Amino acid sequence: MKITVVCDVLGEENNGATHAGMNFIRSLQEKGHEVTIVCPDEYRKGQENYYVCPARSFGPFNNYVRKVGVTIAKADDKVIEEAIKNADIIHCHLPFTMSNHAIKLAQKYNIPLTASFHMQAENFTCHIKMQKIKPLNTAVYKFIYKHTYRHVDAVHYPTDFIRQTFESRVKKSTNGYVISNGVNANCQKKDVQKPENLKDKFVILSTGRYCTEKAQDVLIKAVAKSKYKNNIHLILAGQGPKAPKYKKLAQKLGVPVQFSLFSRSEIADVINYCDLYVHPARVELEGIACLEAITCGRPTIVSDSKKSATKFFAVDERCIFKNNDATDLARVIDFMYENEALRKEIGDKYYASSEKYNQAKCMDDMEKMLFETIENHKKANTQN
């Protein structure tokens, strides 16, 4: 196949959407497909198979967008048309302006279209501190349905949770494929010893961008409330705009926190030697970081947030705490601290549940979606 992947946001692999996009692209390339990528990353100009649109300017908000760590594309129809006109199929990664222009041009050339669903409404509304306003979140979903998802032949949803959320809000059904973004084979269960300085510590790990949706502040507060605070070593793996605020909070509460950005091989080791993994996110479309811990067979705690898919991964109700409630999370942490045998039992249950998140299988399913979409598009044209 000749596939054009349109990425309004790509850049460095410092967020879930970019990780998912690059894994998809690499998988298709490894399978022998010809993949063309459209993105706004200036540094990719001249690289083979990359077509680069300019970055969008947000005027006085440019500094804020830069802190968030993303570059968002401004559509250039000449660039997009050149990238898509010979494609067998076009896949849009996010429901932004460049993808919407690609959709219109694809319709001009009668090229089949698929699109992934990598953005909850709250991922946008949290930046204007209005994530709790349900009508606004619903309006966001209706907007992206109107301009993106109603025009494509198939929609890729990483979880059934986000498919149901989206379709219930827009009151429309879609030709949806529920396929996990998957956990890379580099992240697997193995025996890893704790570093010498952590041998006598109870290590709690949480991985994710430092941002409002991920709720690392709740975890810091929970450790501060724990009966075993003095024997806990908390690792927050990641980076992001909330780093200064969270460092001040940890200092204020007297919680020793290790703020670190790890390589892929390093984080696999940290997952395997931690005693407990906590995913406190308020908003989570899938949560690959959480699935990585599950795949490594680590006892994992998640919030019961109505806006997070990770609660459906829990294998035991004792692994769930009340969303945004540091006191309740401290209760669960203390319970897990006191019950080593239970941690082992729960970790084994998580490991047994992880086969469906194998990335190679998930990418095979994504490829199958593309083949089926092309065939269905041909049939529809024949019938017309």
Mapping DSSP to helix (H, G, I), strand (E, B) and coil, where does residue 237 land? strand
Q: Which residue has the higher pLDDT, 289 or 70?
A: 289
Do residues 328 and 366 both lie within one domain?
A: no
Do residues 362 and 329 both lie within one domain?
A: no
Query: Diameter of the chain by CA atoms?
Result: 70
Do residues 25 and 129 both lie within one domain?
A: yes
Domain assignment present for 235: yes
DSSP string of 328-371, one letter each residue: HHHHHHHHHHH-HHHHHHHHHHHHHT-GGGBHHHHHHHHHHHHH
pLDDT band (50, 70, 90) for residue 58: low
Written as six digits, the tokens of 291 are 């699935």
For residue 267, the domain's CATH number is 3.40.50.2000
pLDDT digits (tens, 9 = 90+) for 172-224: 999 999 999 999 888 999 999 999 999 999 999 999 999 999 999 999 999 99
DSSP string of 68-127, one letter each residue: HT---B---HHHHHHHHTT-SEEEESSSSHHHHHHHHHHHHHT--EEEE----HHHHHGG
Do residues 85 and 148 both lie within one domain?
A: yes
Do residues 39 and 178 both lie within one domain?
A: yes
pLDDT at 122 over 80: yes
Q: CA separation (Å) from 149 to 33, 155, 163, 164, 285?
A: 25, 7, 12, 14, 17
Domain assignment present for 162: yes
Domain count, the chain: 2
Do residues 280 and 335 both lie within one domain?
A: yes
249-269 as b/e: b if 16+ CB within 10 A: bbeeeebebebeeeeeeebbb
Do residues 220 and 138 both lie within one domain?
A: no
Work out the average pLDDT over 288-295: 96
Residue 212: half-sphere exposure toward Cβ, Cα within 13 Å: 12
pLDDT at 59: 60
Work out the average pLDDT over 69-98: 92
**Are the C-beta atoms of 272 and 190 separated by less than 8 Å?**
yes
Do residues 46 and 156 both lie within one domain?
A: yes
Averaged pLDDT of the chain = 93
Do residues 306 and 370 both lie within one domain?
A: no
Helix pair angle (216-225, 326-338), 10° resolution: 60
**Range with the poorest average pLDDT among 40-49, 69-78, 247-256, 264-273:** 69-78
Residue 323 lies in domain: 196-357
Please give the model's pTM, rounded to 2 decimal places.
Answer: 0.90
**Range with the poorest average pLDDT among 13-27, 41-55, 151-165:** 13-27
Domain assignment present for 29: yes
Do residues 11 and 50 both lie within one domain?
A: yes
pLDDT at 73: 86
Domain assignment present for 191: no
Domain assignment present for 189: no
Do residues 145 and 9 both lie within one domain?
A: yes
**Sheet architecture: strand order including 300-303:** 257-260, 232-237, 202-207, 276-279, 300-303, 320-321
Domain assignment present for 365: yes
Do residues 26 and 110 both lie within one domain?
A: yes
Domain assignment present for 227: yes
Placement of tokens 């919680």 in the chain: 255
Domain assignment present for 171: yes
